[in-house]
Amino acid sequence: MRLFRHLQHWLGGNGSRLQVADVVPHTHSIRQWADTFPWAPMVEAIERSFASRFPQRANGGRRPVSTRVLLALELLTHEVGASDEAICERLRTDLAVMYACGLEDVQLDSPQAHFVLPETLAQFRGRLDEALIDELLAIQAAAAMAEGLVSPAHLLIDTFPSEQGSQRVTDATTLYKAQKKSFNSWTTSHNSASPAPRR
């Protein structure tokens, strides 16, 4: 219910509802993968950490996108090897991705523009820190150990090099930046040209 309230700007509307769990088969790889995560304690840990480090100063504004959706999207980018933009696009149409994000039902006839923006995902990622990542890993490991799937009795340790990459400037990013810049300049000029409101 909470997720529904967060995403009601997209999920709201008329028409029949589609039950996501009924459509996505049990044998779907993303569904099986998503079912292994202990979502509730992980989301709780993130919300607790964010509340202590980034306290909410005002109650106004639009409701934020659910942490559950953002966490699932962030994990999916690494699982399916998609970019932020690609995974946000898939969330609009791919029912398996919706299932992984915890959406129970959707109404496909409602407008879906700008459901989760890639920028929102980047902001969410920027708030994660080392302590929180360690906590999330510990929660996942504890859940697997509690179910008797893995044992910490005998462990292997190794290291591997990770090269520091750079964000390459592609045609797509250049075009995106140019469009954003032109839109910002147009908005500024439009605001300055418009007459002042009457008092």
Partner 1 sequence: MDHITQQCITRTATLTSQAGALQHDLQKVMRCFGRQCRGQGKVFVTLLRQTETQLLEVGSSIATLAQQAHQALEKATHLSASTREHLASDLSAAQAAHQQISTQSRRLTQGKRLSHCKIVNAYDPTIAPILKGKSNCPAPCGRKSGIISEPTAGFIFATRVPVGNPSDASYVLPLVDKVQSAIECITAPLRLSIHSVAGDLGVNDPVLRQTLHANGILSVGIPKTVEPLNPQPSPEAILDLLNEAGLNRQRTPHQVQLACACGYSRPVVESHIASVLCRGAGQIRYKGPQGAVVQLGMTVMAHNGAAVVRIYQQRLSKRAQKFRRWLGLRRRHVNQIKSSKN
Residues lying near partner 1 in the complex (CB under 8 A): 21, 26, 29, 32-40, 74-79, 81, 99, 102, 104, 125, 128-130, 133-134, 136-142, 144-165, 167
Output Rg (C-alpha) for the chain, integer angstroms. Answer: 21
CB of 166 to partner 1, least distance (A): 8
Nearer to partner 1 by Cβ, of 51 and 133: the residue is 133
Neighbouring C-beta atoms of residue 102, cutoff 10 Å = 19
CA distance 106 to 121: 21
**Nearest to residue 104, comparing CAs of 31, 18, 29?**
18
DSSP designation for 151: -
- Coil/strand/helix, residue 45: helix
CA distance 139 to 141: 5
Nearer to partner 1 by Cβ, of 109 and 129: the residue is 129
Nearer to partner 1 by Cβ, of 133 and 182: the residue is 133
CB of 194 to partner 1, least distance (A): 33
CB of 55 to partner 1, least distance (A): 20
Nearer to partner 1 by Cβ, of 21 and 178: the residue is 21
CB of 189 to partner 1, least distance (A): 30
Nearer to partner 1 by Cβ, of 22 and 195: the residue is 22
DSSP designation for 81: T
CB of 141 to partner 1, least distance (A): 4
Tell me how far apart the 2 most distant CA atoms of the chain are, in Å.
75
- Coil/strand/helix, residue 185: helix
